[in-house]
Amino acid sequence: MARKLTLGVTGPRGFRAGGIHAGVKAGSPEDKLDLAIVTAERPCEAAAVFTMNRVQAAPVKLSREILAKSGHKLQTIVLNSGNANCCAPNDMENARRMVRITEQALGIDAFESAVAVASTGVIGTELNIDVIEKAIPQLALNVAMAEVSAFRAADAIMTTDTVRKSLAVQYHSLGNTVTIGAMAKGSGMIHPNMGTLLCVVTTDADLPAAKLQLALRNAVDVTLNRVSVDGDMSTNDSVFLLGSGYYATEYEAFCEALTALLTSLARMIAADGEGATHLITCSVKGATDEYDAETLAKSVINSSLVKAAIFGSDANFGRILCALGYTDVDFDPNRVDIEFASTAGNIEVCRAGHGLAFDESHAKYILRENEIEIKINLHLGQESATCWGCDLTYDYVKINGDYRS
């Protein structure tokens, strides 16, 4: 079983990281970190998944290109917040400049290694590459001098996030202690169809790129791909996995630990949805296949009416049935059971597709907790899936109403 740690991306052997204030977004305070580097001592086996949005930011396009040319080898990732570098006049050239500057600052030979890039922030405005160009050498020096911090790197990619998302796990395999670390950002524009948001995962496991890619793809599908805050798929979603190759490991043990790590990150992302006051966990069981269960659970967490009901601590199960019903999944509404649960208790509100008499005040008491679980049983098969979302609050509109300003 994997053990959780707070080491983040510098937890695994062979990695360093750091963050700095560059001033990417005009007027940002000097204590707002907005530029990060995660780098390894040597070239790493690498894997990645990216957004499926047809509109893709320049960093996504360039990182795909770099991975293909390098044979899935990466040594460094440079990331910025404050600007998505997407749909802007010089977006691709600025992404390439970020890579070149980072190579020069770290002394990386572009022919022997590779640097990938990721950005997040406002779409459609020109990236202030000049401030990035000035800041990268100092950031690289900090990292080289061992003035490293997984926390500073994680803080530097935050936008509307209210909490840092940095975590690591350790497990034992083949006589070795293997570590997997990660950092992520995400609070809004979250409805992934790949991975989600910006996320960097590092490990000292010794696995080839092909196995890392399969492990990442499979883990993302049941974790980050099951998070939704607002139904908007980002143009910049990127998840990178770098393996420094120090320790042999059983592949299955690695996959289990990676999935556990990304599950924790998925929950953190959903709980930190813009303006959120409740983390919503929706579990669907009794389905004929896992895809159906996932589709139904996602429909529930994406329903604005369900999200608003959870914000108001209202046990309005009719909205849940409605959200199930407008999917393309074939199920029998007259066999559906629904239950709400939290640390304050649980209450069954629907059995066999029909409402039950229940104590509204007790239901409200249960739904006032920070994490709410919606449990749905279809009574059709043996498959299940869990997805994560958050409630819809007044603050979500406030945050997104003036996001650019």
Residue 28 has pLDDT above 90, yes or no: no
Cβ–Cβ < 8 Å for 41, 13: no
Residue 188 has pLDDT above 60, yes or no: no
**pLDDT at residue 395, as a whole number:** 66
Own/partner contacts of 25-33, CB < 8 Å, gap of 24 or more, are 25/81, 25/82, 25/83, 25/121, 25/122, 26/128, 28/82, 33/152, 33/155, 33/156, 33/158
Q: Using only C-alpha atoms, what is the Rg of the chain? A: 22
Residue 15 has pLDDT above 80, yes or no: yes
From the list 45, 50, 98, the residue with the least C-alpha distance to 239 is 50
For domain 279-401, give the fold.
Answer: Ubiquitin-like (UB roll) (3.10.20)
CATH no. for 3-271: 3.60.70.12
Cβ–Cβ < 8 Å for 24, 188: no
pLDDT band, residue 48 (cuts 50/70/90): very high
Handedness of CA 345, 351, 354, 357 (dihedral sign): negative
Alpha carbon 324 to its chain's center: 25
Percentage of the chain beyond pLDDT 90 is 73
Tell me the average pLDDT across 14-20.
96
Query: Tokens at residue 187, please?
Result: 């609070």
> Using CA atoms in the order 375, 381, 383, 384, what is the torsion angle rounded to 10 degrees?
-10
Tell me the average pLDDT across 168-182.
97
**pLDDT at residue 64, as a whole number:** 94
Per-residue pLDDT of 233-266, as tens digits, reads 556 778 999 999 999 999 999 999 999 999 999 8
Own/partner contacts of 264-268, CB < 8 Å, gap of 24 or more, are 264/4, 264/167, 265/165, 265/167, 265/182, 265/184, 265/199, 265/223, 265/224, 266/196, 266/223, 266/224, 266/226, 266/227, 266/388, 267/388, 268/163, 268/165, 268/167, 268/184
Residue 2 has pLDDT above 90, yes or no: no
Domain residue limits, the chain: 3-271, 279-401
Per-residue pLDDT of 273-298, as tens digits, reads 766 789 999 999 999 999 999 999 99
**pLDDT at residue 360, as a whole number:** 94
**pLDDT at residue 195, as a whole number:** 40
Per-residue pLDDT of 82-93, as tens digits, reads 999 999 999 999
Find the helix or strand (DSSP H, E) in which 261 lies: helix 251-271
**pLDDT at residue 404, as a whole number:** 47
Tell me the average pLDDT across 57-78.
95
**pLDDT at residue 192, as a whole number:** 47
> Using CA atoms in the order 395, 79, 51, 170, what is the torsion angle rounded to 10 degrees?
-90
Cβ–Cβ < 8 Å for 41, 244: yes
Active site residues: 196
Residue 109 has pLDDT above 90, yes or no: no
182 DSSP β-pair partners: 167, 201
